[in-house]
Amino acid sequence: MLSVVPRPVVVRAPSKVNLHLAVGDLRDDGYHELNTVFQALSLSDTVSVVPAETLSVTVRGEDARVVPTDSGNLVWQAAEMLAAESGRRPDVEIAIDKGIPVAGGMAGGSADAAATLVGLNALWQLDLSREELDGFAAKLGSDVPFSLHGGTAVGTGRGERLLPVLSRSTFHWVLALAKGGLSTPTVFRELDRLRADGNPPRLGGPEDLMHALTTGDAATLAPLLGNDLQSAALSLNPGLRRTLRAGVAAGALAGIVSGSGPTCAFLCAEADAAVRVSAELAGAGVCRTVRVASGPVPGARIINDAAEGSH
């Protein structure tokens, strides 16, 4: 007799780098007003969802052992949120394969949450619109809407209000992954402390950077990259200065701390240059490991058929 075995829905979701991250003052709700330009990168996580007796989360790959497998995981929260909304039990097995460094300033948890929203929308045939998914994403975290959309986009508010940006070509990046992670709220608090004690420079608007994106020229873009959280990340992890210097010495056009760090992202002139920079950086002993990536890439996308298989 034939029995129908449900096949998992498998979703890939990208990491991100903030090409421009201007941080405003602390708001009453505990968030900072941002004006940021995100770019989605090819370094990604894969999340699969399949019906099960009860909700469970497994994690393998990069840094898997430090990722929670309970309600502390954003994918768990995403599943409970969609289940509650659609009046069903969240009985799914969620398997995460991590390629994105954990607590690395590259939105790995947000990528997994976005992937879960997309995967369960298909698995449960919820037929939620883009706008409805955006609403769930913003409740899960400030970066989750961008992980859904991908590409290159301006983020305002706490980063969740998005407008796509025209970006003419593919950019080539080298990512220096650090030994530990940095907690996002701790880095924002450190910036508030530095600002209370002195007057660290603040980024202006991203207009020149957006123009550079339309030209597609990496050398024009490189000097315009900027991140207000970088001074805070460097204050908490001074060793990152050496990493940033080493990437530029190895031939990158520019290096910045990615978001709240500690990953350092180096923009390179072309794909070959990125491979050369990554090899040199790997030998310099200034980071845990090195990855080559390109962007922009799409947001969370199903990479297999959601069809059921017969066995």
Ligand X SMILES: C[C@@](CO)(OP(=O)(O)O)[C@H](O)COP(=O)(O)OP(=O)(O)OC[C@H]1O[C@@H](n2ccc(N)nc2=O)[C@H](O)[C@@H]1O
Question: What residue ranges bind ligand ADP (CB under 6 A)?
Answer: 67-68, 72-75, 96, 102-110, 112, 181, 184, 260
H/E element holding 136?
helix 130-140
In contact, 18 and 304? CB cutoff 8 Å: no
Spatial separation of the C-alpha atoms in residues 37 and 163, rounded to whole Å: 9
Q: For this structure, is 112 an active site residue?
A: no
Spatial separation of the C-alpha atoms in residues 170 and 59, rounded to whole Å: 30
Q: How far is the CB of 95 from ligand ADP (least distance, A)?
A: 11
Q: How far is the CB of 172 from ligand X (least distance, A)?
A: 21
Please tell me whether 1 is known to bind a ligand. no
Query: Under the criterion CB under 6 A, does residue 262 sit at the interface with ligand X?
Result: no
Please tell me whether 107 is known to bind a ligand. yes
Query: Under the criterion CB under 6 A, does residue 259 sit at the interface with ligand X?
Result: yes
Catalytic residue among 45, 97, 112, 143: 143
Q: For this structure, is 143 an active site residue?
A: yes
Spatial separation of the C-alpha atoms in residues 124 and 174, rounded to whole Å: 38
Query: Residue 103 binds what, of ligand ADP, ligand X, none (CB under 5 to 8 Å, by partner type)?
Result: ligand ADP
Query: Under the criterion CB under 6 A, does residue 150 sit at the interface with ligand X?
Result: no
Cα-based angle 62, 173, 166 (whole degrees, multiple of 5): 115
Smaller CB distance to ligand ADP: residue 52 or 66? 66
Query: Under the criterion CB under 6 A, does residue 158 sit at the interface with ligand X?
Result: yes
Catalytic residue among 16, 45, 63, 97: 16
Which residues does 15 contact at the CB level (< 8 Å), separation at least 6? 40, 41, 43, 44, 45, 99, 100, 106, 107, 108, 111, 293
Q: How far is the CB of 272 from ligand X (least distance, A)?
A: 29
Please tell me whether 106 is known to bind a ligand. yes
Query: Under the criterion CB under 6 A, does residue 264 sit at the interface with ligand X?
Result: no
Query: What 3 state SS string does 262-292 have?
Result: CCEEEEECCHHHHHHHHHHHHHCCCCCEEEE
Question: Beta-strand (E) ranges in 7-119?
Answer: 9-26, 32-51, 56-61, 92-98
Pairing of β 92-98 and β 152-156:
unpaired
Please report, as residue ranges, which positions from 103 to 122 form the binding site for ligand X (by CB under 6 A). Answer: 105-107, 110
> Of 4-12, 88-96, 140-148, 264-272, which part binds ligand X (CB under 6 A)?
140-148
Among 182, 185, 167, which Cα is nearest to 261's? Answer: 182
Smaller CB distance to ligand ADP: residue 68 or 135? 68
Spatial separation of the C-alpha atoms in residues 178 and 62, rounded to whole Å: 12
Query: Residue 159 binds what, of ligand X, ligand ADP, none (CB under 5 to 8 Å, by partner type)?
Result: ligand X
3-state secondary structure of 48: strand
- Give the residue ranges of the annotated binding site: 101-111
Binding positions for ligand X, rule: CB under 6 A = 18, 21, 30-32, 34, 36, 105-107, 110, 141-143, 158-159, 184-185, 188, 259-260
State the catalytic residues: 16, 143
- Give the residue ranges of the annotated binding site for ATP: 101-111
